[in-house]
Amino acid sequence: MKVRTEKLFNKLLFSQYPITIKKLADENNVSIRTIRNDISEINSYLSENSLKLIETIRNKGLFLDVTRTDIEKITNSLSLQKDNIYLDKDIRQFNLILEISLGTKFYVYEKEKEFDVSKSTLDSDMRDLRVLLDSYSLELISDAKYGIKLIGSERTIRTMIFEQIFENLGTMSVLDSTKHHFPEFQVLFNFIPLKVIYRIKALYNQFLSGPKDYIYLEQSIIFLNIWINRNHNGNKLRNKDEKIEKPPKDQLIVFIQHVISEFNIAPNDVEVQYIYFMLNTLLNKDQYNSTDWLNAQVFTISLINYVEQKLDISFDRESEIFYERLLEHNLSLFPRIKNNMQIYNPLTESIRQNYPEIFKMVQIFTAENLLLNDNKIKDDEIAFLATHFLTAVSREKQSELSVYRAAVFCNYGLATGNLLAENLKQFFPIDVIAVLSVNELYLLDKLDVDIVFSTSPIETQNFPSLVIDPIMNNKNRRNISRFLEENIKYKQTFLINQQSAINNVFKDIVEILENIYGKINSKSIEQIIEVFDINGLKINTKEIQPMIENILSDEDILLNLKVNNWEEAITEVASPLLDRNIIEDRYVDAMVNSVKEHGPYIVIGDHLALAHARPEDGVNELGLSVATLEPPINFGNTETDPVKIIFCLAAIDSYSHLNIIKSLINLLNDNSNLTDIKNSTSKTDFKNKLFKH
C-alpha cells in the first residue's frame, strides 16, 4: 500500500464524521480519480480481513465505521518502515520544518539524499516551505558556511514550531503509544525524542500537584521540549529586549528549575520568566492580571447573552456553574490570544460538523469582540468555547431521573469531558458522578460509581467500561445502548439535580414574596435560608447573586463630581466604599496603579468606566459606588473619551457581582439611557433610571 493510500486510510480510521472525496484530493494534491483508486485499494484490504468497507454517505462523503479493536488491528498491520515515509510530500515538509528549527545546520543536497528525491522535487518542497514561513513573517537564507538558516522573531519561531507539530499530528495524541509507528511520529521523535517526552511527563507528575487537563498537559510538554531545544542550540530571548518580572516561588517555578537542571540548560532571566508564563497559559492555571480579570468577565457575560438571544434559551437555572467554567476558560484564553499561543483542539472539525449553529454563533461574536494585540481567535479555541455552550444546552434538556452511576475519563480535556457527560445524561438514564482525565484513574476506587466511560482504553478492573468517541453520534449511541443492556444489573433509581431543584424552589419563594410585599431585605433572605437549612435543604448561596439595587445605596452615589484628572476620579468614586471599610486604602492604590501599568482598560464603553482591582488587593465585602463627572474627564482612550460616569466595583470573588456586571453591560447597550442617567438631577432619579437595567 502506497504511503499516500495509507495516510488516507489512517485519516478515515480516526475521523468521527464523513469526508468528501474532493477534500481528500485537495489535501493530497491529487485528482479525484486517484482518490477513488486509493479507496478501492483500501476496500480490498478491508474485504480480505472481513472488515466493514468504506461507506459513501450521500451529500456528506466517505465514512469508515469500525470498532476500536478493528482500528488497533489495522494500525498494527500497516506499520511503515522508516525508509519509505518520505515518499509523502507532507512528511518531507514536516521534516524540513523541524530540521530548520530544532535540528542542526543542513544543506539542501543532504536532504535530497535523505529523502531519496530529485533536486527539482526538493526545490519544490523548499518553495512551499518558504511560503508557509512567510505566513509567520519568517524567512530562510542560504549560507555557504552555515547552510539553511531560519530568520525571524524567536517568539514567533517557537509558536510556528508548536502549531506545525500539532497540525501534522492532527487528532493523534503524542502520549498514545499505539500511534507511534505513524510516519509523523517517526519524524517528530528524530527531533524531540520520546524518552525526553516521558521524562518531562514524569517531572510533571512529581512536582505539579492538582488536577491536570490532559489536552493542555500534552501540549505544554511539547512546548517545553521546544523551549529546551532552542535554548540548547543558543536561540535565546535577550534580557535587554524584555521587561523582566520575577516569577513567584510556586510549584511551577520549582518544576521549571528541575527541568533546567535535568536537561543541563542555562536560560537567562527572561527565558525563565517566558517559559513560566507560557506554561501557565498552556496549563490553564489561575494566573491573570486585573485587565484580563474584568475584560474576561465582561466578554463572558456578553457572549452568554448573545447565544441566549440567538437560541432563544435561558441558562439562568445553571448560571453559576456554567458562568464559572466559561470564565475560568476565558481567563486563560485572553493571555493565550495576546501571546498568539492558542491551543490545538483535536475535535474542532467534529464540533463544527455536528454542532454548526452554536459554532457559528461563537465564531461571529468572537470575531467582533475578541481581538487582542491584533491577534484573532482561531477556530480551535472557538471550538473550546462552543463546547461549554453545548454542555449547558445538554444540561437544560436533561430529564430529572437517572439510573446508572458512571465516571467519565476523557483525554481531550475537561471541557470535552463535561460535554460528553452531559450528552450521556441527556440521551441515556445515566448520572455522571465525576469527569476525570486519564491521568486520574487512581481516583476510580474512591468514587461511588458502577460503570465507566472513557475516550481511550484504560484498565478499570472491577468496573464495566466502554470506550466511546468524545462527540456523541449514532455509532456512539448504539454502542452505549448495548453496553447498558449488558450491565442492566447496575440500574438504580434516584433523583438527580437535587441541588438545582432546591435552589430553584428557594428563588421561586423569594420571587413570590417580593411580588406580594415588595423588595425583601438581606436579613429576611437569611431567615428563609435558615428555614431550608433546619429542614436539611442546603442552599448554594453562590447562586444567589445580589442585583445592583441591592448593593448601591444613596451614600454610594456622587452626582456632578468635579475632579481634575482620571486619578482623582478613581480616588473620589471609591471614597464611599473606603469610608465604610468595604475596601482598604491599598485597593484604591491598586486601581490607580493598574491603569498606569495597563492603560485605560477600565473604560469599558462610550463614556463609561468601571474602576476595579483584584479581590485580594484589599476588598472586605461586596460593594459598588458611582459618580457622574462634571465636566467629563479624559482617561486616554480616544474612542470612548470623555468619561461621564465612573463606577467603582469591589468584588470578593468571581461570581457574587455577576448580576451587577450584567446590568452595566445592558447599560452600555442603551446609549440614550446612559445620557439620561448622566443628566439625573437627584439620586432618586438616578436610581430609577439605572435600576431598570
Determine the distance from the C-alpha atom of residue 46 to the mean position of all C-alpha atoms in its chain, rounded to a whole number.
Answer: 38
The three cell numbers locating residue 200: 518531562
**Any idea which residue has 531560519 for its cell?**
150
Nearest of 666, 609, 546 to residue 305 by alpha carbon: 666
The three cell numbers locating residue 612: 476595579
The answer to whether 433 touches 449, Cβ cutoff 8 Å, is yes
Instruction: Phi first, then psi: give them for residue 457, nearest 5 degrees.
Output: -60, 130
From CA 285, how far away is CA 278, in angstroms rounded? 10
From CA 272, how far away is CA 225, in angstroms rounded? 14
From CA 547, how far away is CA 658, in angstroms rounded? 8
DSSP-based three-state secondary structure for 389: helix
Segment holding 219, helix H or strand E: helix 214-232
Q: What's the residue count for the chain?
A: 693
**List 329, 388, 607, 612, catalytic entry:** 612
The three cell numbers locating residue 563: 475632579
User: Residues with Cβ < 8 Å from 36, sequence gap 6 or more?
Assistant: 21
Instruction: Phi first, then psi: give them for residue 689, nearest 5 degrees.
Output: -75, -35
From CA 421, how far away is CA 459, in angstroms rounded? 20
The three cell numbers locating residue 525: 433572605
From CA 550, how far away is CA 416, in angstroms rounded? 37
User: Residues with Cβ < 8 Å from 466, sequence gap 6 or more?
Assistant: 451, 452, 453, 454, 479, 480, 483
**Any idea which residue has 463546547 for its cell?**
387
User: Residues with Cβ < 8 Å from 171, sequence gap 6 or more?
Assistant: 14, 346, 347
Helices (H), 542-628: 548-551, 566-579, 585-598
Cα separation values, 380 from 40, 344, 384, Å: 33, 6, 7
User: Has 329 been annotated as catalytic?
Assistant: no
Cis ω for the linkage preceding 248 (within 30 of 0): no
Nearest of 112, 148, 113, 143 to residue 129 by alpha carbon: 148
Burial of 643 (0-12, 13-18, 19+ CB in 10 A): buried
DSSP state of 347: T
Active site residues: 612
